[in-house]
């Protein structure tokens, strides 16, 4: 085998081994269903406007996220979406080993978000505007 071809094979093997089981099976993002009563609340994920309820959001698996629902006349509601290690992460022990673990940790593919379904019953705001 020529030197160039052996380098190519080595590079391909390194790339394949760095893709962990979690990333291969789950990807880097996860769908989270968000509903509210009443519907039409603005959804903010980590400070970024992300749509209105009802919605299916696709969120990075890496790290925890703060979800905030905002609707006029109702109190803002905050929900924490937590990231935790999933079962596929541990398949890396079988193959491809530490490189797969590192790949899953970097991409978030070895994590799952919880809850993956959010339902919020918005509470009417008790704030009263000052009258002049």
pLDDT tens, residue by residue, 92-129: 455 545 455 555 455 555 677 889 999 999 999 986 54
- Spatial distance between the Cα atoms of 86 and 75, rounded to a whole number of angstroms: 34
Helix ranges, 19-82 (H): 21-26
Q: How far apart are CA 30 and CA 96, in angstroms?
A: 23
State the residue range of the domain holding 74.
18-121
Residue 87 · residue 4 · CB < 8 Å:
no
- How many domains is the chain built from? 1
State how far Cα 51 lies from the chain centre: 16
In a domain, 29, yes or no: yes
Burial group, residue 115, by CB count within 10 angstroms (0-12, 13-18, 19+):
middle
Q: Answer whether residue 11 is part of any domain.
A: no
| 75 in a structural domain | yes
12 falls within a domain: no
Q: Is 34 a domain residue?
A: yes
The more confidently predicted of residues 86 and 118 is 118
Whether 1 is in a domain gets the answer no
Q: What is the mean pLDDT of the chain?
A: 76
The radius of gyration of the chain's CA atoms, rounded to the nearest angstrom, is 21
pLDDT above 90 coverage of the chain, percent? 44
pLDDT category, 50, cuts 50, 70, 90? very high
Q: Which pLDDT score is estimated for 27?
A: 63
C-alpha angle 91-95-100 in degrees, rounded to nearest 5:
80
For residue 52, what pLDDT is reported?
98
Q: How confident is the model at residue 21 (pLDDT cuts 50, 70, 90)?
A: very low
Predicted local confidence at residue 87, as pLDDT = 52
The domain that holds 35 is classified in CATH as 2.60.40
């Amino acid at each position: 085998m020529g030197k160039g071809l052996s380098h190519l094979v080595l590079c391909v093997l390194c790339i394949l081994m760095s893709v962990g089981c979690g990333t291969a099976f789950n990807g880097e993002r996860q769908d989270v269903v968000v509903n509210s009563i009443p519907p039409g609340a603005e959804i903010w994920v980590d400070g970024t406007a992300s749509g209105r309820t009802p919605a299916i959001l696709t969120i990075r698996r890496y790290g925890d996220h703060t979800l905030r629902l905002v609707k006029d006349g109702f109190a803002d509601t905050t929900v924490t979406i937590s990231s935790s290690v999933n079962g596929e992460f541990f398949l890396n022990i079988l193959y491809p080993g530490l490189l797969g673990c590192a790949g899953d940790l970097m991409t978030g593919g070895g994590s799952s978000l919880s809850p993956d379904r959010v339902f919020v019953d918005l509470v009417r705001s008790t704030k009263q505007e000052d009258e002049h």
